[in-house]
Amino acid sequence: MFDYLVMGMILHEELTGYDIRKRIEMGVGHLYKASPGQLYPALKKLTGKGLLTLREQMQGKRQKKYYQATEAGKAAFLAWLSAPYDPHADADHYLVKIFLLGELPQDLRRQRLGEYEGILRGQLQGLDAIEKQLPTENLSDRNYYEFASFYYGYQTLQIMLRWIGHIRAEKPLSAFLQGKEEEK
């Protein structure tokens, strides 16, 4: 997965490892980290597989290594991004796929987002079922915080759904942030 995220950064541009890390950090950094100990070995491995090209350049006394995806690399990346969402394999990485979704043609994009929306709705229903079974009386302190965590998860799912709906309709992003749009 991480490999594809890296490749996604260098489809159209030559970048150094350092640049790639910065990009990832700014983009999905709050949710997903790219430590140097993970990135540099990955770049080496991907180059070895022929998915990246490496161009070394001296800048003064400083060695810089520019990487870019090869045709094989681009093909592998697109195959991965185009594949239907699999809740089993992708669970933690939806956000990363969506982050990169601009690389896909519009019809595929719509389809993937639709699938994802369906999966999330299913999860929300699952939480609804649990919620109905939660006791509402005689709550201990313990229960209060346990349930609070549950509700937080619930809320997060709702936001995610609203978010997917928003970007599926390709509405302007600023409108999403305000959060004051009409409810479904």
Partner DNA sequence: TCCCTCATGTAAGTAGTTACATGATTTC
Partner DNA sequence: GAAATCATGTAACTACTTACATGAGGGA
Q: Where do contacts with its own copies occur on this chain (CB under 8 A)?
A: 26-28, 30-31, 95, 98-103, 123, 127, 130, 140-160, 163, 166-167, 170, 173, 176-177, 179
Q: Which is nearer to its own copies, 125 or 149 (CB)?
A: 149
Total binding residues toward DNA, as defined by CB under 7 A: 26
Q: Would you count residue 37 as binding DNA (CB under 7 A)?
A: yes
Calpha distance 123→118 (Å, rounded): 9
- Residue whose token pair is 């999905």: 28
Residue 163 contacts residue 176 (beta carbons within 8 Å): yes
| Token code pair at residue 11 | 């489809």
Strand-pair partners of 102:
none
Q: Would you count residue 13 as binding DNA (CB under 7 A)?
A: no
Q: Which does 175 bind (CB under 5 to 8 A by kind): its own copies, DNA, none?
A: none
Q: Would you count residue 171 as binding DNA (CB under 7 A)?
A: no
Q: Which does 10 bind (CB under 5 to 8 A by kind): DNA, its own copies, none?
A: none
CA 52 to chain centre: 22
Calpha distance 120→75 (Å, rounded): 28
Q: Phi then psi for 34, rounded to 5 degrees?
A: -125, 95
Residue 69 contacts residue 10 (beta carbons within 8 Å): yes
User: Of 39-47, 125-133, 154-162, 165-173, which part binds DNA (CB under 7 A)?
Assistant: 39-47
Q: Would you count residue 83 as binding DNA (CB under 7 A)?
A: no
Q: Which does 124 bind (CB under 5 to 8 A by kind): its own copies, DNA, none?
A: none
Residues whose CB falls within 8 Å of the CB of residue 31, separated by 6 or more in sequence, listed in order: 95
Q: Which is nearer to DNA, 13 or 170 (CB)?
A: 13
- The residues that touch DNA, with contacts defined as CB under 7 A, are 1-2, 16-19, 22, 33-38, 40-41, 43-44, 59-65, 88-89
